Amino acid sequence: MATFDRFDICEAYAALEADYNAGGWLQERPSNQRRKEACSVQLDRIGFKPGAGWRGYDSLSDNGKEIYEGAVERLGLPWHPSAGTPAQEELREVLASGLFESAEEPYFTWRGCEVNLVRGCRPVGNDVYDVKGYRSLDDARGGEDNLIEFRCCGECLNYAVNGEK
């Protein structure tokens, strides 16, 4: 359980803001916008400025990481900041449609999983399955031009198929 520590909280939210604002997630939702602003105000008030060596999430204390992860869960954000980009949305549509097939055996690659759907997923250096499929029946009817191929880790695949994290 995360403990209340004002510095940890501010650092965690600074990391969240740095990680997620590029993807637009924090800005798109009115409630998140409100939280973000509330945090910015708070950060200003205590004079918090990340130093040059500050590396966002990686620089957080264990408590800060718990706060960060709790916020990600509560706000319904994707587990990786880069998640939620148009390209990844496309891959998730394929997984959601069920119109895909995956290779029997995974293989290791430093290029990692392209989907980034769950916390256990690593975008670099991961065992992945080659997956190919269509986003919709219409796409499938349209033929192979619409076939989308990508690398997906077991965690993301399991979540897509069974709905379990």
Q: Given the rule CB under 5 A, which residues bind Zn ion?
A: 113, 115, 121, 153, 156
> Least distance from C-beta 12 to Zn ion, angstroms?
23
Output 12 or 160, the one with its CB closest to Zn ion: 160
> Least distance from C-beta 61 to Zn ion, angstroms?
27
Output 39 or 113, the one with its CB closest to Zn ion: 113
> Least distance from C-beta 16 to Zn ion, angstroms?
21
Name the token pair of 122. Answer: 């690593």
| CA-closest candidate to residue 19, choices 63, 55, 62, 67 | 55
> Least distance from C-beta 154 to Zn ion, angstroms?
8
Output 46 or 87, the one with its CB closest to Zn ion: 87
> Least distance from C-beta 70 to Zn ion, angstroms?
21
Query: d(Cα 75, Cα 23) in Å, to the nearest integer?
Result: 14
Distance of CA 12 to the CA centre of its chain: 16
Output 34 or 111, the one with its CB closest to Zn ion: 111
Task: Count the neighbouring beta carbons within 10 Å of the beta carbon of residue 69.
Answer: 17
Kindly list the distances between the CA atom of residue 90 and the CA atoms of 41, 81, 105, 147, in Å, as whole numbers in the listed order: 36, 16, 23, 11
Query: d(Cα 86, Cα 70) in Å, to the nearest integer?
Result: 25
- Phi first, then psi: give them for residue 55, nearest 5 degrees: -120, 40
Output 44 or 73, the one with its CB closest to Zn ion: 73
Contact indicator for 72, 26 with CB cutoff of 8 Å: no
